[in-house]
Amino acid sequence: MASRILLLAFLALVCSHAIASDPSPVQDFCVADKTSQVFVNGLVCKNPKDVKADDFFLSGLDKPGDTANKLGSNVTLVNVEKIAGLNTLGISLARIDFAPYGLNPPHIHPRATEILTVLEGSIYVGFVTSNPDNRLFTRVINKGDVFVFPQGLIHFQFNYGTKNAVAIAALSSQNPGVITVANAVFGSKPPISRDVLAKAFQADEKTVDWLQAQFWMDNNN
């Protein structure tokens, strides 16, 4: 009886990991059919006979993103919405441009681990572990350096230098998602109750009202 319980527990653990990951391919590729009205976990496959090389191609990542915004950063995401051939392959890419003192603010990728490398400049990066420890891991990374942000943890990137910086990030999902902390908490639609936020942040209601009135921008393209 005990061995059966252990076996069931093991199978449940294995299944939970399988469910938590992107769908695995069971053929060479499954190019997304963006015209389909069928909703599945991922995207419906296009007929392989209709697939072309352009389904696996995107140009323009050499061009800098526009950093003329309040954050001084721009994220150009290359996911399954940009390259249909990424469907079921469990990977995506992003170019991150930073103006001097530009910030990619604290955010979460709910469906992906991120690995980032610096192409130009120096970037201060970090992530925070989950409760109850909330440990902060930070480091300054330079051209050619690589840093990993575990899945689901709050993390950030900041160009503390006086020159532009560029980084490339790979993410372990065709559609990693992004939740910018400030946007989600203070810019939700409809807004979270001021009583809830005032209690959570130990702030007065005027401060909460001011924060909710700000323009919370998205630096993702």
Per-residue pLDDT tens digits of the chain, which is 221 residues long? 555 543 444 444 444 444 456 767 778 899 998 888 787 777 889 999 999 999 999 999 999 999 999 999 999 999 999 999 999 999 999 999 999 999 999 999 999 999 999 999 999 999 999 999 999 999 999 999 999 999 999 999 999 889 999 999 999 999 999 999 999 999 999 999 999 999 999 999 999 999 988 866 676 76
Contacts of 165 (CB under 8 A, 6+ apart): 97, 98, 102, 118, 120, 121, 122, 123, 159
First to last CA, the chain: 54
Q: Report angle CA 100, 106, 97 to the nearest 5 degrees.
A: 35
What pLDDT shows up at residue 220?
Answer: 72
Cis peptide before 132 (omega within 30 of 0): yes
Beta bridge partners of 77: 94
Q: Do residues 97 and 164 lie in contact, with contact meaning Cβ atoms separated by under 8 Å?
A: yes
Tokens in use for 80? 């399954």
- Alpha-carbon distance 202 to 49, whole Å? 59
- 87, with CB counted inside 10 A (0-12, 13-18, 19+), is buried
- Alpha-carbon distance 221 to 219, whole Å? 7
What pLDDT shows up at residue 19?
Answer: 46
What pLDDT shows up at residue 215?
Answer: 62
